[in-house]
Amino acid sequence: MNGKKSSSRDRKGLSRTHILWALLAVFALSPAISANLQPSRYEGGRVKDEADIEARNTSAFALILGEIRANVSDLLFVKTELYLHSGVAYMPHLDYGEMAQTGEIEHRPAPTEDREPGTEFDFERHFREHQEEVGIVDHDDHDDEHAPTIIPPARQDFRGFIGELHRRVKPWRDPALAHIHTDGRELLPWYRLMTLSDPHHIRAYMIGAWWLKAQRSETQRKEAMRFLDEGVRNNPTAFQLYLMRGYMHNEDGNIELARDEFALAARHAAEQRPSQGPQHRDWTDYMEDDARGAVRMHVLLERELRNIERAIELSREYRAAMGEAVGFLNRIERDLEAMLEEE
């Protein structure tokens, strides 16, 4: 009788063990399972109009999980800010100026001869600065050096000794002092997670690729291009990513490849740009800058490839499509016509 009892107990124990192992196996295999879920098919989160919202709300699953994915991705974006500033938490100031600090506006520079003085971001200077930053520097000409910290300085803090302890326990610097910037290398895992969480987080692809490129190694440069390729696969109409790829090919001296990327970027940008431009709710100044950059680079690279007539033709097309937004094309077009006459 005892024997029977113990064997039934053994069987029970075994079945529980099996369940545990099965759960562990499922857990271990979960990356493979999730990899097959085709995350790029998720379209929620970053909606542009009511039709998008409507489409998103047709599925409760997409509604709940979709929001979480986008929100997690945004939270991870904030995490990169902390890592950039060696853990010091500054007030959210991720405006476009700040994006430039983290490299997102790298694509903006026009070739030096076409830059309109005072209107464009000095990419070359900024890139040099960031090159210095790779290796941790304390620089004092940072645009956001007066951004307030989340933990206020004693003079602005109502919390007395608790505020003092808070400043000592957490990474904190007086906001009046220059920021400490870190090697962007440690930021990179967060960009990877950001885009895994939300494959439509275009800025994450762009900035992540910039930091990868900033590592100054051939391997990381290739990784940056792969990262952008993945971004394009997941977001085939994201003109900003074509633009980034164009810049990278251009830097590598692959002018024709770069031209093709700029052409795609400019085409998508022209298609997507609303007639009101940045006045439209969903078209930011930042997108406007990118669209202008794509158009300009496409025209200039056609010129560089000595397709002057094609360059003039494109300039006219873009002016017709985008109007005043690409007013700078007037001057380029005049130069092109002069070149054509000379030939």
Partner 1 sequence: MTPVWLIARSVLIEAVRRKEIYAIVLISTLLIGAVMTVDFFNLEGLTKFYREVALQVMSAATGLTVIVLAARQLPREFENRTIYPLLAKPISRLTFLLGKLLGVMLAAAFCYGLFMLVFILGTFYLGGEIPVGLFLQFLYLQMLKMLLLAALSFWLSMVVNLDAAIALGVIFFFASSVMTNAFTLLYPFADPFGQGTITVLNYALPQLALLDLTEKTVHSEFWPPLNLGTMFALTAYAGFYILVFFGAAWYCFRRRPL
Q: Which residue's CB is nearer to partner 1, number 83 or number 286? A: 83
Residue from 12, 159, 281, 306 that binds partner 1 (CB under 8 A)? 159
CB of 61 to partner 1, least distance (A): 22
Q: Of 138 and 309, which has the nearer Cβ to partner 1?
A: 138
Q: Which stretch binds partner 1 (CB under 8 A): 10-18, 179-187, 247-255, 266-274?
A: 179-187
Please, which of residues 121-150 interact with partner 1 by CB under 8 A? 136, 150
Instruction: Answer yes or no whether residue 46 interacts with partner 1 by CB under 8 A.
Output: no
Q: Does 90 bind partner 1 (CB under 8 A)?
A: no
Q: What's the 3-state SS for the chain? A: CHHHHHHHHHHHHHHHHHHHHHHHHHHHHHHHHHHCCCHHHCCCCCCCCHHHHHHHCCCHHHHHHHHHHHHHHHHHHHHHHHHHCCCCCECCCCCHHHHHHCCHHHHCCCCHHHCCCCCCCCHHHHHHHHHHHCCCEECCCCCCCCCCECCCCHHHCCCCHHHHHHHHHCCCCCCCCCCEECCHHHHHHHHHHHHHHCCCCHHHHHHHHHHHHHCCCHHHHHHHHHHHHHHHHHCCCCHHHHHHHHHHHHHCCCHHHHHHHHHHHHHHHHHHCCCCHHHCCCCCHHHHHHHHHHHHHHHHHHHHCCCHHHHHHHHHHHHHHHHHHHCCHHHHHHHHHHHHHHC
Q: Does 33 bind partner 1 (CB under 8 A)?
A: no
Smallest separation, CB 198 to partner 1 (Å):
15
Question: 112 or 219: whose CB is closer to partner 1?
Answer: 219
Tell the smallest beta-carbon distance from residue 263 to partner 1 (Å). 28
Residue (158 or 253) nearer to partner 1, CB: 158
Nearest CB to partner 1, comparing residues 188 and 325: 188
* CB closer to partner 1 out of 6 and 156: 156
Q: Does the footprint of partner 1 cover residue 161 (CB under 8 A)?
A: yes
- Using rule CB under 8 A, residue 61 touches partner 1: no
Find the shortest distance in angstroms from Cβ 55 to partner 1: 30
- Which residues of this chain interact with partner 1, rule CB under 8 A? 24, 27-28, 30-31, 82-83, 86-87, 89, 136, 150-152, 157-163, 165-166, 168-171, 180, 182, 185-186, 188-190, 192-193, 196, 212, 215, 219-220, 223-224, 227
